[in-house]
Structures are given as C-alpha cells and as structure tokens.
Amino acid sequence: MKLIKLKINDEKGFRSLGKDFEINFQSDFDDYDSNEFYPYILAGQNGSGKSNVLEALAEIFYHLECIYTSYKPDYFNQSYDNPKGFNSAISRIDEYELEYYTILDADHFSVDKAKLKKAHINITKIKGERPIIKWLNEIDFREITELSQQESKSLLPKYVVGYASGNNETLSFPFIKSRFLQFDEYLSTLASKEFVSPKPDASLIYLDEAYSQAILLSNFLMLDNVDDDEEKIDLLSPLKKYVGVEDIESFRLIIRSDIEITPPTNSNVKKEDVKKMRLIQNLDLKNLKERHNATSYIEKLKSCATTWYDNYLMDLDDTTLPEDYNKSYFYLDFKVDKETKKAFQFHFDKDPLKLFELFQILLLQDLYIVPEYSKKNIYSTQNVFLNQDMGYVPDEINRILRFKFLKIKKTNLDKTIFTKELSDGEHQLLHTLGLCILYRKERCLFLFDEPETHFNPDWKARYITSVRNCFNDINPEAEMLITTHSPFIVSDSLPENVLMFEKYENPINPNFNTFGASVNQITMELFNRIDTIGDYSNNEIEKYYEKLKGDNADVLIKEINSKFGDSVEKTIIINKLKGFIK
C-alpha cells in the first residue's frame, strides 16, 4: 500500500495531535510499477507527535478490523445487556480522513488491471457515524457496485505490524485487543473438531518479547539455503553480518496439551450442554483420514523434531509441584542441521510466515486464563495501560507454548550461546529486520517506533540499507513508517520521505536535501541543535572566549589542544586566537 493522507477532524484531537492535524505522505502518485522501497521517516524532538501518528493509524485500523472481521464473540458488540460493547459508529478517533493506494486482493477481485494499477481508497469517519470506505477509482477496474463485507476488508491492509523499542503502551493498546479477537476466533472453531489454519483473520500484529524467539526461529529455519544448487538472495545476511548470528544450534519446544476449555456457544445452545474440549485440539488432530487429509500442526512439529516426548516433565523440579500434579506436555527437541531445515521447509511450504503464524497462535493460547467478564472489559476499555492491568500471562508450567534452551552459533565465539545473552541492540536488529523478512511479500503497513534506539552509530548508519534490502528483489506491497531521533536514518532517506515534526504543527518535508546530508546539518535543521558537542564541554570551551584578550595566544592554544578533542567549536576558538577570524 501507499499512504497518501491522514487528517484528524475530531474536536478532541488525538493525543498531542490537535483538531485539523494533517499529514501528507504523497502529493502525486502515479508510479504504479515502482519497486523502490523507501520508508517514511518521522523525525522531530520528543513530544512533537511522531509516535502519535503511528498510534492513530493503529487505532483506525483496529476499529475498521472490528467492523469487518468475520468472527466476533457474542459479548463483543454493544447491546442492551452490554452497553459498553463495540459500536461501529464510535471510535477513539471519532472523525478522520484516511487516503491510500493498495494492491487488489486477487482472492476477492477478479479484474484484468489488478496487477497494473493500484486501487485508490478513501476512508472517512464522521462523528457518531460508521466509517465509509470509498474506492475512488473503481470505474478503472469494474462497474461501480456496493462493496461487500469481504471486499471492504480486503481493501484494508492485510497486516498492520507494530514495534516499539520502549514500552509504548498507547501503540500496543489496539494490538493487544486484537490478540483477544484472534484468540476468540480460534475458540469459535473448537466445537467443529475440524482442521484450523493458524492464519489469523485479524490483521494487527505486535512484536513484544514473547514473539522474539518465534521470529528468529521462523527465519533461520525456513530461509537458510539447504539446496546448494538453488540460487537465492540471502535475506539473512544483515543478521549474520551485523549481529553475527551464524545459525541455530538447538532448541526445545514445550507444548501444554491437556488444558481444557468450554468453547463459545450461540444463543441456541445452552452452556451446560457443551462439553469441555482440549484447547489445542484443532491443532492436534489425530484421525487424519477422517479430516480430509488435513495434517495436524503438532504432527508437523513432531516430524521436524530430532526427538520428542509425550507427557514428560523433564525440566520441572518435581519437589515444587503438588502431590496430585498430573499435567500433560509435548516435549520436542531439535538439533538443527541441514535435514532439520529441510523438514521444516517441506512441512511449512518454505514460507517463514506460515511457521511464525503457528507459533503465534500457540502463544495466543495463554489467553485461556482470562475469564469472559475480563475479556468483555478489555474489549470495551479505553484505558491505555491495558497491558499492565490485565495480567493475563499464566505461570511457567501453565503456559501453552514455551521456547527453551534456544542456542545460537555466533561469529568469533568457540561455543554456542543462549539468545538471552544477546545485547538489547542485537535483539532490536533481529526483531525489526526479522519482521520485515516475514512480511516482505504481504500487503502490509509497518509501524516502527524508534527501532534503532539501542544501535551503535555504525548500525544506525546501515539500518535503512538493511531494511530496504529485505524488499529489493520484489515489487513490494508494503508501506513503512519509522519514527526516529537519529540523523543517520534521515541521511539515508529522500527528502520527500522525511517528515519534520514540531509540536502543535502539521509535519512538512524538509527544505533541504536530506539524502546524503551530513549528520551535523540534519541535527541543526531537524533537531535545532547548533552545537556539535555536548553542553558541558561546550561551556568549558566558551570560558576561553573571556581570555581572548590579554593572555598569550600560544599558551591558550596549547592548553585547549591538550584539554579538548577535535570539534568545530574548538577549531573556531583556535582560529580566533590565531587571528584568522574575528
């Protein structure tokens, strides 16, 4: 997709974005076949509203998702018994305009020009009314007709992928709610006892620490070229080069298999008539011949494992457990080699996203501990500290999926290490580039909030190149917004892709060419920082201006050279002492 415009018309504004806030991404867009991928860089000082733009887009697409997703629990929508439930006419941003281009989904639109031209979409929300989706150039593809529910959904991003380097509660807020929708969707399939695809109907995906190992494993197991005769672009090269992760050495998956839950019912079925069922049942189908040759996803993992055990308590300290403790687990151990990767690539169609989505749905199963009344409150709450308040993570032995003993081979180390031993910056690079690789071929909107905060200057300087390399062999359908304070990120971006933020003002493109500009110029222009050194050292240098007259210049120059490192500020005062400048 390609964003065109976002305007906030709500009288209350949104966060620090006031009424009539407007951000224009593209003034003219007619290059439908461009395969160049440039993220939008949102730069400015703290509190200027950069992150609020990401939050606004996440909120808008969550509200739209709640309207158009195919499954919602009975207690989700507003009703007489649930006055605080979801109302399609009320959103946290209750008035807005959003405009973008998107590739048409071939599963929902059979039009000849789908590959040649993008659909131009406008979404308008008026206070107290349901948002309206308009396909502005529909006549270029077909006769103008009323959009169906599924057609409307397919004109939204297929995925909205969020990441924040810090604990950005307000960005994660709609994503956490969306996780519950995905989980409830899965629960709705339990009673059918039928094969279930892990692919979620909900579109919002947010990376936190629970998903980091899933991202690493999905990419390294599925994208390593095990066939020497097959030429591929090595998408993992930035991860190998900068982080030094050469390969996965081994890991264990522990899957809790005996948790039971009562599947949701409709109004025609009494709850007492519904029997409890195993939570992972539809991912662990046993009688495959009666399930239309569907393959159990648990069986897929077993087929890839070096060894596996059923109902085995290998890593638990039995002395800490109750006497009547009798739980059931699958333990799957993987010694990763060429054959292990071949097995994963066979069972998951050489698609890292398919493996990740299985991990994702298993991780979502931990939400089983949240009672229905709490979920009802979560769906209706406007408390942005939702993640802190709900406390939905079960204790260790009651979690559905655990990654254990994940060891990696790292460059210049004689022994393998656990992934937890990596630095914050290394995790950050693995996470963000890993997400780009997973969703590189999808109709996706990436919302990255300061993804480079823990990077050293060299990694910051290389980050945009690394991101673009994830997409350089395809015609990407993705859009990406990155908030940053790094002049290196800005220096690798075209001025039309840089948006300068100042508090209470609409963002604008810089009035100078940012591409290849020095970090000093960018720091001055975008962050209003004229000095090139820290305040303390700058104040110490300025003290020498008082000594320009009366003291011996040669003595002062010698003293300055011994006390300060090289800088523009030091050069200026030395040239003044020498009389070269006044």
- DSSP output for 321-344: S-TT----EEEEEEE-SHHHHHHH
More confident residue, 95 or 272: 95
Q: Would 582 be classed as within a structural domain?
A: no
Residues 6 or more apart whose CB falls under 8 angstroms from that of 367 comprise 179, 180, 183, 392
Sign of CA dihedral 529, 531, 537, 543: negative
| Residues 567, 485 within the same domain | no
Flag whether 30 is in a domain: yes
The full DSSP string for 440-456 is TTSSEEEEEESTTTT--
Which residues are paired to 527 by β-bridges? none
What is the phi-psi region of residue 454: left when phi exceeds 0, alpha when psi lies from -120 to 50, beta otherwise? alpha
Q: How far apart are CA 367 and CA 187, in angstroms?
A: 11
Helices (H) and strands (E) in the chain, counts: 17, 18
Q: Answer yes or no: do 416 and 550 share one domain.
A: no
- Domain annotation covers residue 210: yes
Rg (CA), the chain: 27
Q: Is residue 239 in a domain?
A: yes
Q: What is the pLDDT of residue 315?
A: 46
Q: How confident is the model at residue 113 (pLDDT cuts 50, 70, 90)?
A: low
Question: Residue range 144-162: average pLDDT?
Answer: 92
Residue 544 and residue 454 share a domain: no
Q: How far apart are CA 582 and CA 51, in angstroms?
A: 44
CB-based burial, 389-418: b 16+ in 10 Å, e otherwise: ebebebeebebbbbbeebbbebeeeeebee
Say yes or no: 555 and 435 in one domain: no
For residues 192-213, average pLDDT: 82
Label residue 27 by pLDDT band (50, 70, 90): low
Query: Which single residue is written with the structure tokens 């197991």?
Result: 221
- 212 and 160 part of one domain: yes
Q: Compute the Cα dihedral for 551, 555, 560, 563 and give only its sign.
A: negative
Domain boundary among 506, 525, 544: 525
Lowest mean pLDDT across 67-76, 146-155, 350-359: 67-76
Phi and psi at residue 521, in whole multiples of 5°? -65, -40
Give the pLDDT band of residue 117 (cuts 50, 70, 90).
Answer: confident
Mean pLDDT (the chain, rounded): 84
Chain center to CA of 243? 20
Q: Which DSSP letter does residue 316 get?
A: S
Residue 546 lies in a domain: yes
| Structural domain of 558 | 535-577
Give the HSE-up count for residue 221: Cα atoms under 13 Å, Cβ half-sphere: 32
Say how many domains are in the chain: 2
77 in the same domain as 43: yes
Residues 480 and 555 in one domain: no
Strands lying side by side in the sheet with 417-418: 307-310, 329-335, 245-256, 401-410, 417-418
- 3-state DSSP assignment of residue 245: strand
DSSP β-bridge partners for residue 547: none
Average pLDDT over residues 365-375: 88
> Which residue in the block uniquely carries the two structure tokens 């690079």?
429
Q: Examine the domain organization and report whether 438 and 549 are in the same domain.
A: no
Same domain, 315 and 416: yes
Same domain, 402 and 540: no
Asked if the structure places residue 243 within a domain, the reply is yes
Tell me if 530 is assigned to some domain. no
| 345 plus 451 within the same structural domain | yes
Q: Of 525, 549, 568, which one is at a domain's C-terminal end?
A: 525
Shared-domain flag, residues 310 and 198: yes
Rounded (to 5) percent helix, strand, coil in the chain: 40, 20, 45
* pLDDT higher than 70, residue 514: yes
